[in-house]
Amino acid sequence: MANLKEKIGYGFGDMASSMFWKVFSYYLPFFYANVFGISLVDTGILLLVTRIWDAVSDPMMGAIADRTRTRWGKYRPYLLWVAAPFSICGILLFTTPDWGYAAKLVWAYVTYILMMTVYTGINVPYGAMLGVMTEDSQEKTVFSSFRMFFAYGGSFIALFAWDPLCSMFAGTGMSPQSSWQAAMIVIAVCCFVLFLLCFKMTRETLNTVSDASLGKDLKALVTNKPWWLLNGASLCFNLFNTVRGATVAFFFADIIGGEQHVVVFGLSMLFYSGLFLGVGEVANMLGVALAVPITKRLGKKPTFIMVDALLIVFSIVFFTCAPSSNAGLLLMLLLQVVISVLTGVMSPLVWSMYADVSDYSELKYRTASTGLIFSSASMAQKFGGAIGGAAVMWLLHGCGYIERKDGMDISAVVQPESAISCLWALMTFIPAGVALLSMIIVWLYPLTTERVNDIVAELSRTRRGAAAVAEAAQEAADAEKVND
């Protein structure tokens, strides 16, 4: 059994990754369109191209990590090796050079591709660590819950602090471009420290060695039915989150407005995107805490289906909120809490199910390709982000959304009704449709609780047998050396 220190240490890793990922997902589209200064169409293409490359590079990194051999293990060393490049690339991503449009667009492509490549280099091995820290399926869910709890904690810190950080630096006389860069420097330093702590506090306990070639690993992967289905469901889950998240900054700028206040228990506070997203991250943490007892009682597959069904219902209810009234704003906040609790339950569940798929693959195909399989989880996350981020940009452009240039004030732009309707759809009916598709896919997923328990038991016997054979062979070799 792993101790509490290891679980907390493992959580620190995704705390760092998530701080960057949520800022990228929720604020980078708005940054490119309204601060950096490129068009919605170009922003959409940029998000799609860079994240597709990022997703394609994940299996490459997974295969590399599977074949890494060091005294620290196969996956853990990358936390140490890539922490500094990760932080530096994040700062470059939010740097706005004083160049012409074409040169700035090239800079955006280069820095975003570089950032996502480095993100892959640290996040894929980090995710694969879950498969070698314990062989117990339920404890994997516990590790995954710690991971996602800290991830949402990091997201809350980054999102809740982002607007105040930008405003604070802008208040010192910095331009909007410089203030966004300074805010990212603060976040990047925090991420660097967290990755080093993750490396220090964790360890790999299972030595999964595959003698299979990369070709055999890939062949086993593409014939793995549970892997395909889980990828589809995971892509939909990340598409759900990305579409809503990438829309929030636009939704608040053009529907809520910059000066709206909400009164809660007699306390009036500014109702801004950072508050909305930050409250969601706290609610995500609550959902993560509920994931273990719920899945232990219901099973992973039924829990996934139930959560999807509830996401459909509450996403549609969000459409009834009236942003012009305090009651409407409170209902929005309440629904954000409920939806975020549900996505919080889902997050550790997805990663734990990938660990089950890894065990299934090892037993059926006799190939320990943990990194390759977990890279597909990251790949699905990034494809969901790529499709979702690009779709938001292109839909807004198609609906006539008017971009703000050179720091224009929110009140200086009045969006057409078509753009307003599009923003509402992106927050409600479109995510609901994605959740419905996810529910249908998971319905077909074959790894039930009973089947997973059988796999773990049989795999444990196989591993013990292989270890005994290896030990006997080593003893025979040692005895032969003594005789010689």
| Tokens read off for 445 | 């997923």
The residues, any chain, with a CB within 8 Å of residue 422's CB and separated by 6 or more, are 395, 396, 398, 399, 401
Is residue 140 a contact partner of residue 21, using CB atoms and an 8 Å limit?
no
pLDDT confidence of residue 222 = 76
| Tokens read off for 309 | 């069904």
pLDDT confidence of residue 19 = 92
Third-level CATH fold of 11-462: Growth Hormone; Chain: A; (1.20.1250)
| pTM of the shown model | 0.71
Question: How far apart (Å, rounded) are the C-alpha atoms in residues 406 and 175?
Answer: 10
pLDDT digit string (tens) for 437-469? 999 999 999 998 888 888 888 887 876 665 555
pLDDT < 70 stretches in the chain: 1, 208-214, 258-259, 368-369, 377, 405-412, 463-484
pLDDT confidence of residue 408 = 54
The residues, any chain, with a CB within 8 Å of residue 210's CB and separated by 6 or more, are 66, 217, 367, 368, 369
The residues, any chain, with a CB within 8 Å of residue 302's CB and separated by 6 or more, are none
pLDDT confidence of residue 40 = 86
| Domain-wise residue ranges, the chain | 11-462
pLDDT confidence of residue 446 = 92
What letters, b where the CB count within 10 A reaches 16 and e where it falls short, cover 254-293?
Answer: bbbeeeeebeeeeeeeebbbbbbbbbbbbbbbebbbbbbe
Question: How far apart (Å, rounded) are the C-alpha atoms in residues 18 and 25?
Answer: 10
Is residue 109 a contact partner of residue 46, using CB atoms and an 8 Å limit?
yes
Question: How far apart (Å, rounded) are the C-alpha atoms in residues 112 and 237?
Answer: 23
pLDDT confidence of residue 213 = 61
3-state secondary structure 417-481: HHHHHHHHHHHCHHHHHHHHHHHHHHHCCCCCHHHHHHHHHHHHHHHHHHHHHHHHHHHHHHHHH
Question: How far apart (Å, rounded) are the C-alpha atoms in residues 271 and 257?
Answer: 9
Question: How far apart (Å, rounded) are the C-alpha atoms in residues 434 and 311?
Answer: 10
pLDDT digit string (tens) for 297-312? 999 999 999 999 999 9
Question: How far apart (Å, rounded) are the C-alpha atoms in residues 20 and 449?
Answer: 34
